[in-house]
Structure 1
Amino acid sequence: MTKPNKPIIWTISGSDCSGGAGIAADIKTGHALGVEVCHLTTANTVQNSEKLVSINPVDVDILSQQAELLLTDKMPNVIKVGLLANIEQVKWLSVWLSEVKERNSSIKVVYDPVGQASVGGKFSHLSVSDLRLFLKMVDVITPNSHEAQWLATSKSIEVKALAVDIMKLGVNSVIIKGGHAFTEGASNEDFCTDYCLHTLTDDDSSKMSEDETIEYALRSAKVDTNYSHGGGCSFASALAAFIAHGHLVRDAFTLTKAFINQGLSKNAGKHDHYGAFEQTYCPTEKSFFPTVSSSINHKYRKLAAFKSLGLKRQTHNPNSMNNTGEQKLGLYPVIDSLYWLKRLLPLGLQIIQLRIKNKTEAELDAIIAEAVELAKPYQTRLFINDYWQLAIKHGAYGVHIGQEDLQTTPIEQIHKAGIRLGISTHGCYEFLLAQQLKPSYLAIGAIYPTKTKNMTGQIQGVANLAELLNLATDIPVVAIGGINHERAPEVLATGVDSIAVVTGITEAESPEESVRLFQKLLGHT
């Protein structure tokens, strides 16, 4: 069996003869987002843009034969499930998915619980009880608000309560789409908030919570259009495609929201009839990306921007005519001792981060106090990793915190002290969340696998770095993780403002020569 050039998703769903929803939407979405799509048709429907006439289920034996044959050469990364037309199909799929996941535990299942057609009429008469065994095989479920209320036992109108109830059915993650009704628990005609309750896994190495679950909410202005037929199918298949490309749920969720916003915007203002949602391409334009609605962003929504680094900067487009050659942040060494600080400070660097681990409080106090004094005669901006209280106490230039520390670090105190703030991010969700806090700089990583930290599931790669830079504002962006002299040119070609380097300097045969070579690559001599 030859290895496919693209990730593979399967769609197990119904056929919409009008071409707007179901398998037609899934295939168009998958191809738009660079995945190969295999399809198993559960039912042939008779419908158009005005009404649903009939559902004609496909025999389970045919579905079983198709699935087993496809497994021999088209093993899926993700399986998207839509319309299940009868209890026989549910029973077969429940058993089959259990067997497949035993053979390949990495396969994810995304379920769009299609209950009622947008034009009216029910697709099936299945009950929640009928679906219980199947739902235990589901990784992500994507109901709209009406479907969520059907699935939940509490019958609440509060989105989190609904998600908690649905998660009890055995699914790992619940995404409730807000376009049909509530926005963050209340009706809002101008905005739509999609909500995700996600079970933390070993892949979520940048955790912002000690709980077993974490919430994500994404808010966008509603798009005024009637061209939304198949939007729910497209949402679930886009989510499946982004997961198949290796994105974590939070980032796949964010990219999917942008994809839907982009597709709806293609027909903004059109109301001539109930038209098909337009599947476009992978979103890159910042205007289509949502706002992150989180407790952190809400808490600090009125906080002014943190002090800047005081450097003029280029556009993030390396080919833009607006590039002026003005000084950028440049090389950003991350070191773990006063020894390295003393050795690197004389080399004319714009910025250094001191990241100390495994010291007592008294030792940390003394080290940070000395570090700040050592940096004073130089123009180098000294950032202290994590220890914001000591950074404030000793008057450091800035403090750097990880995404996992945002919940517990009172960043308003850092702001009040007048020192700068840098924040780590891993993927588009965290990048947008941190960007809304208006820090002094943002770090993105890990670009490549790194020796210093386990970044399982969070390797960004150069292509993803370039896409993230499309979402950047005037806040400087630093790339970090596994960057050496050989890799630096392709990282810098993205237009990123700075590259952070750890072992590429501290494990070099000649650290000073390594710094000079990095500076040369950065255009700093």
Structure 2
Amino acid sequence: MNKPIAWTIAGSDSSSGAGLQTDLLTFHRFGLHGCSVMTASTAQNSHRVSDIQYASPEHLKAQLSVLKHECRPNAIKIGMLGTPKNIDMIREFLHAYSGYIVFDPVFSASCGGGLIAGPARAYLDGLFQIFPYLHLLTPNIPEAECLSGFMIRSFEDMEAAAHKILSRGAGSVCIKGGHFISDKWSQDYWTNGKESFWLATPRYSDRNCRGTGCVFSSAVTACLALNYSLKDALVIAKMYISNGIRLSTISREPTWFVHGSWPEDQDDLPFLSASPLMEHPRSFLPCDPETLGLYPVVDSAEWIGLLLSAGVKTVQLRCKDKQGVHLQNEIRHAVALARQYEARLYINDFWEDAIAHQAYGVHLGQEDLNTADIDRIFSAGLRLGISTHCYYEVARAHAVQPSYIACGPIYPTTAKMMPFAPQGIEQLKRWRRTLRRYPLVAIGGINEERMSEVLNTGVNGIAMISAITQAENPERKTQQLLSMVGKH
């Protein structure tokens, strides 16, 4: 099997609006081979559930047995389990499985029909026994209320419920906010007990799609099977859900979710933030002009003087080895040179000094976002660029609405130690298609030989370090690179 494999352990929906049919379609859209273990067969449509036949534990065991010998999964999504005995059988299987497990704790159908057999208390007690095997639990608000034992009426309640559920042993929880009363945003809350964030996308109140909970959990599972991190998987799944709802038919009645291809529209990219979104984030001033062009990153004002005299119009000062008065002098000198040459100077990291010396802009890494005062940078009228390396970081930058977003490393680089693998030119093309309203800067391992294929992606800027600073004749090399950029 060349494709990654994902399983769905769930009930069958005869109308294919939810359940394992929707899971398999989602897996297919993400390029996976999907396998199914059917826990129940339901006779349902968008208005009612008329009959349910639960699989016996013996039949469930037979399905698991034949699949594990031929189609070992990279990740498993669990949905409707139906009976306490089936929960026991699944727990026995999970005890011997070491891959990713995502659980969407389905208690009822979208149309309101119950999907569990026997006393609810016994069913819940059984579910709690499998929580320690789960990497992610994805309840909606009514399900989170059942699992946590209290009502959810506020964002603070969502956070409290998530931590209560975590105490049962799950690795992490993402409470989906589709049922939350809000006119503007659909907001989900994720936490693993140590880290947490909110994901917000526009709410389409005039659309009523079935099976979105199934789709979200299976999309996360698909991304985990494709070796994305859990944080990235949550962002991509949120994009997929937003896209499918946005493209669905406008109707108050239950309608069909639109399964697209890989999500690549900025309209569906969530805002990722530490707290729930109350209003649309304000945007930083745009780059002027939008094309940043050749964008050298250097460590001294001396280098900046050489580059500006060679014709560079956008440059970044990244001083990691200077402090105190030496750093202040370096920044002051660099700002003066930028004004002399009418160029755009971004100061890396030292945002307070950039404000004090009235630099054109600031560039922040992801770790800097934890400590920088974004509001002060905005109020000072500086432009802001942010480094990103993955979907989680792009969504986090999107919530800040910077002047530009930098993506990398595109190729292997020796400029600094990187915990991220090179993204490659195809992913850069995807970032360009996705981040269509942001100036996009490519960085990481770009040299003269690779310049043309990077420029052909349509990026607005190319950040370079060693290709210039380690050149035999940096000034001449800079002029050659400027000429290449100018031809595009």
Counterpart of 1:235 (choices 200, 216, 219) is 216
Q: How far apart in 1 are the matches of 2:72 and 2:452? A: 36
CA contact (8 A) 1:216 1:250 kept: no
Counterparts of 1:119-268 in structure 2, within 5 Å, are 119-124=111-116, 125=120, 126-157=122-153, 158-180=157-179, 182=180, 187-188=181-182, 190-199=183-192, 212-226=194-208, 228-268=209-249
Query: Secondary structure of the equivalent of 1:136?
Result: helix
Query: Secondary structure of the equivalent of 1:409?
Result: coil
CA contact (8 A) 1:348 1:379 kept: no
Query: Secondary structure of the equivalent of 2:97?
Result: helix
- Aligned residue type for 1:353: Q
State the 1:388 CA deviation: 1.4
CA contact (8 A) 1:33 1:282 kept: yes
Deviations 1:440-472 (A, max 9, x none): 322223334433445435754433333333343
Query: Secondary structure of the equivalent of 1:331?
Result: strand
Cross-structure match for 1:413: 376
State the 1:497 CA deviation: 0.1
CA contact (8 A) 1:191 1:220 kept: yes
State the 1:82 CA deviation: 0.8
After superposition, the Cα gap between the structure-2 partners of 1:385 and 1:51, relative to the gap in structure 1 and judged at 3 Å, is same
State the 1:415 CA deviation: 3.4
- Aligned residue type for 2:207: T
Mapped pair 1:38 → 2:35? yes
Counterpart of 1:281 (choices 244, 261, 264) is 261
Q: How far apart in 2 are the matches of 1:499 and 1:359? A: 26
CA contact (8 A) 1:466 1:494 kept: yes
State the 1:275 CA deviation: 4.2
State the 1:489 CA deviation: 2.9
CA contact (8 A) 1:445 1:458 kept: no
TM-score by length of 1: 0.81
CA contact (8 A) 1:219 1:292 kept: no
Q: How far apart in 2 are the matches of 1:153 and 1:455? A: 43
- Aligned residue type for 2:426: A
Q: How far apart in 1 are the matches of 2:374 and 2:251? A: 45
Q: How far apart in 2 are the matches of 1:299 and 1:402? A: 25
After superposition, the Cα gap between the structure-2 partners of 1:494 and 1:113, relative to the gap in structure 1 and judged at 3 Å, is same
Query: Secondary structure of the equivalent of 1:79?
Result: strand
Counterparts of 1:423-462 in structure 2, within 5 Å, are 423-435=386-398, 437-456=400-419, 460-462=423-425
State the 1:172 CA deviation: 2.7
- Aligned residue type for 2:115: F
CA contact (8 A) 1:173 1:196 kept: no
- Aligned residue type for 1:309: C
Counterpart of 2:101 (choices 105, 109, 124) is 109
Identity %: 38
State the 1:386 CA deviation: 0.7
Deviations 1:54-73 (A, max 9, x none): 43333445444544544455
CA contact (8 A) 1:300 1:437 kept: no
Counterparts of 1:346-357 in structure 2, within 5 Å, are 346-357=309-320
Query: Secondary structure of the equivalent of 1:236?
Result: helix
Q: How far apart in 2 are the matches of 1:300 and 1:411? A: 15
Query: Secondary structure of the equivalent of 1:99?
Result: coil
Cross-structure match for 1:322: none
Cross-structure match for 1:325: none
Q: Which stretch of structure 1 is more off in the superposition, 409-418 or 425-434? A: 425-434
Q: How far apart in 2 are the matches of 1:244 and 1:514? A: 44
State the 1:151 CA deviation: 0.8
Deviations 1:137-165 (A, max 9, x none): 11121111100101114444321111121
Query: Secondary structure of the equivalent of 1:197?
Result: strand
Structure 1: stretches of 5+ with no match in the other structure: 102-106, 201-211, 314-327
Counterpart of 1:345 (choices 308, 315, 326) is 308
Mapped pair 1:397 → 2:396? no
Number of aligned residue pairs: 481
Higher helix share: 2
Q: How far apart in 1 are the matches of 2:288 and 2:246? A: 38
State the 1:80 CA deviation: 0.9
Deviations 1:273-313 (A, max 9, x none): 64443323223333344455654976994x5x5444321x4
- Aligned residue type for 1:199: N
Q: What is the RMSD of the two structures over their aligned residues, measured on CA atoms?
A: 3.1
CA contact (8 A) 2:75 2:101 kept: yes
Cross-structure match for 1:384: 347
Counterpart of 1:50 (choices 47, 51, 71) is 47
Structure 2: stretches of 5+ with no match in the other structure: none
Q: How far apart in 1 are the matches of 2:206 and 2:279? A: 30
Q: Which stretch of structure 1 is more off in the superposition, 140-149 or 48-57? A: 48-57
Q: How far apart in 1 are the matches of 2:185 and 2:438? A: 27
Deviations 1:483-518 (A, max 9, x none): 233433333222110111223333445544543453
After superposition, the Cα gap between the structure-2 partners of 1:513 and 1:116, relative to the gap in structure 1 and judged at 3 Å, is same
After superposition, the Cα gap between the structure-2 partners of 1:66 and 1:247, relative to the gap in structure 1 and judged at 3 Å, is same
Q: Which stretch of structure 1 is more off in the superposition, 145-154 or 250-259? A: 250-259
